[in-house]
Amino acid sequence: MYAVPDQTGKSVVVTGANSGTGKEAVRRLAGAGARVVMAVRTVAKGEQARDEILAEHPGAQLEIRRIDLADLASVKEFADGLLADGTPLDLLVNNAGVMAPPTRLTTADGFELQMGSNYLGPFALTIRLLPLLLTAPAPRVATMSSGTANYGRIHFDDLQWERRRYSPSLSYAQSKLADLMLTRQLAAVAAERGWPLLSTAAHPGYTRTNLQTAGASLGSGKPPLSARMLTSMDFLPSQAPEQGTEPLLHAATSPDAVAGGYYGPGGRFGLVGPTTTARITRRALDPAANARLWTESEHLTGVGLLSTVG
């Protein structure tokens, strides 16, 4: 079991903090002494998760704040609240996401739901929180990707799946490749500007959470075949959130993590097991494509470096 280094005095934000890998990350980070803002879409679920963690760690410093990553106005409101507090932010964990709704759904801003929730929302949040991150002595941003990024493609001419036939699994893969590209580009920007910020990524392998079923229940229509197979057959090695969160915790806190590093399970098929360095798909190793996606993301979200850190 990965031992999270002492986090006493550190301020942390974890998105999707009420269940699965997000809840486990909060539990372990708070148990190591961090002050954690649990960023959740449904406050009641966040409060329930907080109470469960407090039962195990009575001294945990936990705060619930609402954010809906599928609504850029909500992202701005959340970030503005933290900026108004002025507390330096040591760690941002971009964990929240949605997986494979059976039909094409859209966010409050008209983005395809997976691209909006899994990538554009976290992108906007990360950029908006840079002023607080850069006031911390050794800030980090750890972003959850997925093994599906390996077969993802960034369709710059149709990022929102408006022209092609919608594919739940390929849309998810695109959003998770985008997360990996964000990680790499943020690391490049930090190096170029001389920031002490460490940008890393992780994937959980096949971790048993509600991610596979929650997305499949959205909208109308029958869940996609991939979701039905995952929920009806136990043909792949899988692991509990306690183990599946470890790559993310390694990316977020390990002194061995490197800029642009990517971490995941090292066991069977890369789905289970102890954390190791994961292979980065060549599509996320293309600096030009990473920079292009960043620029397009600034355009789509209206959030950019010039408007936040200059």
**DSSP letters for 4-22:** PPP-TT-EEEEESTTSHHH
The predicted structure's pLDDT at residue 266: 82
The predicted structure's pLDDT at residue 309: 83
Taking the model in full, what pTM does it have?
Answer: 0.92
Nearest alpha carbon to residue 279 among 153, 150, 185: 150
Nearest alpha carbon to residue 203 among 272, 139, 154: 272
Annotated catalytic residue, options 119, 172, 206, 262? 172
The predicted structure's pLDDT at residue 211: 52
The predicted structure's pLDDT at residue 195: 98
Positions of the chain with pLDDT under 70: 209-235, 237, 310
Residue 10 near residue 88, CB atoms below 8 Å: no
- In degrees and rounded to multiples of 5, residue 32 shows phi and psi of -90, 5
The predicted structure's pLDDT at residue 216: 45
Nearest alpha carbon to residue 31 among 48, 1, 56, 66: 56
- Beta-bridged to residue 205, according to DSSP, are none
Residue 151 annotated in active site: no
pLDDT tens-digit series, residues 199-248: 999 999 887 765 544 444 455 555 555 555 444 445 676 787 788 999 99
The predicted structure's pLDDT at residue 106: 98
The predicted structure's pLDDT at residue 205: 85
The predicted structure's pLDDT at residue 221: 52
